[in-house]
Each structure stands twice: as C-alpha cells, then as structure tokens.
Structure 1
C-alpha cells in the first residue's frame, strides 16, 4: 500500500502570552486596536495536514507520499522528513515563496490569536498526482483550493480510491463544488461541525452523503466517531488519552489511522478503533509531530484499550 497525501506542509510558530488578552483589549476600543504582547515562550513546530499525516503513517510503519508546494525556507523541515525517511519526490520547492506558516499566540485562558500565511501552499496545483505506485490510496486534505480540485479529479480519473477530507478548507467551496468532490471520492471524512456545514451547503443529510460513497466518517471529539457504511452507522468509541495536552493535529493522526487500516484491508470497526487510538496518542503531546511510538507499541496499546488483538 502506498498512501498519496495531497495537503498542506507548514510551519507552526506557537507563542504563549502569560496574561489574558481581555486585560489588554478594550471592547469599546477595538476600532483603533493597537496592542503588543510580550511572549516569553515560543516554539516552532513542523505541521500542515500532509506533513502530519505522513508522519503518523511513518510511526505505524507505512510510507506516505506527500504532494505539496513549499518555499525557500523549507530546509529544516526537509531535514526532518529525511530523518523519518519520508519521500519528498512530490514536494516542490518554490524559491520565490515562503512555506505556509501559522503564527499562534495563546493566552492563559486558552484564547488564541492566529495569523496564517498560505505562501507556497497556494501553488499546490503545480504538483500532479502520481499514478505509478503499487496499490495506491489517496487523500485530499486541506490545501490550496485549486490543488484540492485538481488532485480530486486526478485521483478519480486514475481510479485511485481516496478520502475527501476538506477540513478547514470546506468553507472555500459552495454546495455544487462539494457535491463534485463527494461524487469523485471513495470516502468522506469530516468532523461534527464540518458535517453540519456540508449538509447545509449540499442539501444532503448524513445518510444522503453516505449513500454516495463507500464510507462517511464523522469525528466527534471525546464522544468518539460515527462511520456510515453499508447502510448502517457504526459507533466508534473514543480511546482514552493519557493526558489532554494539545488537540492540534488529532484529526490528521486519525486520518493516518484510516489510511493505515484501509491499506491493510481491515473491517471498518477495526479501522475506526485504530484511528481513534491514533488521535488519543497525539492529543497527549504538544505539537503535531512530537509523539513517538512503533507498531509493536501501538499493538500493545490497542489490546489494552479495546481488549482485542490488532489484526496486523
């Protein structure tokens, strides 16, 4: 199995403000807002949906192929991917761009102010979906809008089964565009909020969306997830996390679990549990690519969590 991942590759610069924004932003003065926050804590993380998914797949012993465009500042991230033996054949460096980056400042109440620069991500359509990998499976994750449209069409034309995972990119598309994605996709994966927005824009309820694909996956945070397939809805329990440190990237870890299970030909009940456990492992670590395990350790955790052997 080769997983081909269309999605963003980005740097996340995360800063902690040791106070509360509410103490410095006056509600009646926001029309002339001019504030500066001293942030004694800062870290730079490797992120982006494609980067996070391929990293999680690597932990499971699988190799994912990211399709992405990055900027001239990509060097340290490239070294990180090389360290994990993640191929960069279809990661295109655009020397006149910056790599996509998010600047996130969090206060003591966990409020966040974020600025996002898409940079090279907006040129993701310059990379084409490869068709020469054995037993491929794909995913269209949040990326530049043109790249999402193009890669979905290319997966479909090549007969490569793929997951449509619009994520935070969903608001960029109207109902007709979303229906085209659904018609092309083999599977659809959304969180609860995204599922509501997708229903509103397409005019289809969850059962209607599920009828168009092999499976519709709806993640529901601590309440687990639903998998609609074969005319029924499977209830997937949430795995227990050792601690709740940082939810950022949990959805990407979950999707890596989906790709892993699909590539191994497992049943949906097992696939959902694998994905659930991946999310629980990720949420216990700060940052999106700072958790570590190997497949043997994952097997042991799966058995302890669900009381059954992982059948791989």
Structure 2
C-alpha cells in the first residue's frame, strides 16, 4: 500500500563547538555581533521530514513515496534512498537550486545556532499530488507554504485520507487557512507546544479540532502522547529506549509508525504504541536515518514492551 509523503528532503550539517556560546558573546554588544566559532567536529546527515518519515516507514515494510523538490547536489541523497528501496518518482530536481540545507552549531550546553536554506523547497508547489497514480494514503508535512495548501486541497479533492502535520511551518498560515486544512484532513498531528499555538491561531480547543477530524494526535515527548478521537482521549504511554543518543527526528519516526498503523487498520491504542516505539528506536541512534531493523524485530520489541503481539 503506497503512501505519499509530502515534505522536504534536506541535508543537515551538524557541528559541535567545544565551549559555551555565552563565553564568547558580550550581551551589551549583540547589536554589533561578529563572532566566529571553531567547530572541529562536524557530520552531515540526510534529513528533511519527507525523507525521515519515508525512511522509517520503509523499515516497517511500507511503500513510501516522498514528494519533494531538490537541487543540483541531490546525488548522494538519491543514492542513499535508492539503496534502501525508496521510490523517487515524486522527487523533482531543479538544477539551478540547491537541495534544502540546515546548518546547526551546538555548544556544550546544547544551545543551538541554526541556519536553514530552503533552496529548491521554494519550488515545491510545482509538484502535484494529482500526478501520482494509485495513492492510498498521504501526509502533508512541513514544506513550502503554497505546496502545503495545494497538497491538502488535492488530497481532499481526490478523497485520499491524509495527515496534516504543520510542524515548523506553523508561522506560515492564518487561522482561516489552518481551519481549512484541518477540515480537509482526516488526521492532524502536532507536539504539545504546537497544539497550543494551533488552538490559539484557529480559536478552536483540542476537542473542537478533534471534531473536525478522525483523530487529533498530540505528542508529549518523554511523557507519551494523546489521541483525541470519537469524543474520547486515549493516553499513549512512552516506549522505553535503551539509551538516548540523539532525539532529532524522533517526531518523524513517530509519524511513520502512525501512518503504518492507520494503513494496517489497527485500533488507536495499538497505533499510538507503534508510533511511540518507532520514536524510541530512533533516539537510540545519531542522525535521523541511521537506525536499522526488520519488521519482525520491531514486532518482537513491541510485544516485549507492551505485553501483546501485533496481529
């Protein structure tokens, strides 16, 4: 069963400053700030929400089709996705652009300075959900503003069930636009902070948002998640991780578990636990696409943690 994953494909360049930013920034001189940090540690990871969700969904045995726009430097990322059997018919290359890139510098207090170059993502509205045959499910994850509006409308027009995931794109939309996309979507997912923002922007509380969807999912980090559905709130416990190495991409892994569980027709308590476990398995590894396991291993871990088997 195919799932179209609308969102970004990006390179994440992560650097570590072996000191504290505060030791090198004069508070009374920030208006003329001019600093340079030596970063002896650096790594480059494959990222972007579409890539992360697709990678994790593939681990579960799904058939993800990322829909994204990339640039002239996409070659290494293409090879990585092809090596893991992820289809690329929905990826469009713009040779006069760069692939979206995020540059993150972290100090020893885990403070971060981040710069994001959208590159080819600014052209993402040139991709159309309507051009993809045999779509059974979809997700509209953070992407260009026009693309997110367009993809939501296109999924709804085709009658394809989909998840609306505003995430980092929260500042891009008006309250009316949010209300429209929520009404078009079958499911909405946000974290607890984003949930407060979404309620503020729409003027709807969590119960009202849930009434416009089949389920409103709110993730709570290490405290698990809540699924508002059918007039009830289902509490999902967090899965246990063996170690916390890197939480980056945990939310995208959760979304992959959510998609897989919905498409397989599981009940909401099971869907939520599958998603929770996917997030826990991710944080045990650095980067967003470096964890490896089979579905059989996932199912065995699920039974061990939650006390029952996946049917």
Q: TM-score, normalised by structure 2?
A: 0.98
> What displacement does 1:286 show?
1.0
> What displacement does 1:8 show?
0.5
Contact 2:100 2:120 in 1 (8 A): yes
- Partner of 1:280 in structure 2? 280
- Partner of 2:59 in structure 1? 59
- Work out the CA distance in 2 between the residues paired with 1:113 and 1:93: 29
> What displacement does 1:134 show?
4.0
- Work out the CA distance in 2 between the residues paired with 1:134 and 1:121: 25
1:68 is paired with a residue whose SS is strand
Contact 2:121 2:143 in 1 (8 A): yes
> What displacement does 1:16 show?
0.5
Instruction: Verify: 1:271 aligned to 2:286, yes or no.
Output: no
> What displacement does 1:133 show?
4.2
Contact 1:102 1:116 in 2 (8 A): yes
- Partner of 1:16 in structure 2? 16
What CA deviation, in whole Å up to 9, does each residue of 1:218-251 have, x standing for no partner?
0000111000111100000000111111111111
> What displacement does 1:174 show?
1.2
What CA deviation, in whole Å up to 9, does each residue of 1:22-67 have, x standing for no partner?
1101111111111111111000000000000000011111110011
Which consecutive unaligned segments of at least 5 residues does structure 2 have?
Answer: none
- Partner of 1:114 in structure 2? 114
- Work out the CA distance in 1 between the residues paired with 2:123 and 2:133: 23
- Partner of 1:72 in structure 2? 72
Q: TM-score, normalised by structure 1?
A: 0.98
**Map 1:137-176 → 2, pairs under 5 A:** 137-176=137-176
> What displacement does 1:301 show?
0.6
**Map 1:74-89 → 2, pairs under 5 A:** 74-89=74-89
1:13 is paired with a residue whose SS is strand
> What displacement does 1:104 show?
0.2
- Partner of 2:226 in structure 1? 226
Contact 1:282 1:291 in 2 (8 A): yes
- How large is the Cα RMSD of the aligned pairs? 0.9
2:55 is paired with a residue whose SS is helix
Residues 132 and 151 of structure 1, relative CA distance in 2, 3 Å threshold: closer
1:14 is paired with a residue whose SS is strand
Contact 2:67 2:90 in 1 (8 A): yes
Count of residues in Structure 1 that have an aligned counterpart in Structure 2: 311
- Partner of 2:182 in structure 1? 182
- Work out the CA distance in 2 between the residues paired with 1:305 and 1:122: 42
- Work out the CA distance in 2 between the residues paired with 1:259 and 1:181: 18
Contact 2:90 2:132 in 1 (8 A): no
What CA deviation, in whole Å up to 9, does each residue of 1:256-294 have, x standing for no partner?
001100110111110000000000011111100011111
- Partner of 1:242 in structure 2? 242
Contact 2:217 2:225 in 1 (8 A): yes
1:12 is paired with a residue whose SS is strand
Contact 1:245 1:286 in 2 (8 A): yes
Instruction: Verify: 1:290 aligned to 2:290, yes or no.
Output: yes
Which consecutive unaligned segments of at least 5 residues does structure 1 have?
Answer: none
Residues 65 and 39 of structure 1, relative CA distance in 2, 3 Å threshold: same
2:77 is paired with a residue whose SS is helix
Contact 2:4 2:135 in 1 (8 A): no
Instruction: Verify: 1:192 aligned to 2:169, yes or no.
Output: no
1:238 is paired with a residue whose SS is coil
- Partner of 2:252 in structure 1? 252
> What displacement does 1:130 show?
4.1
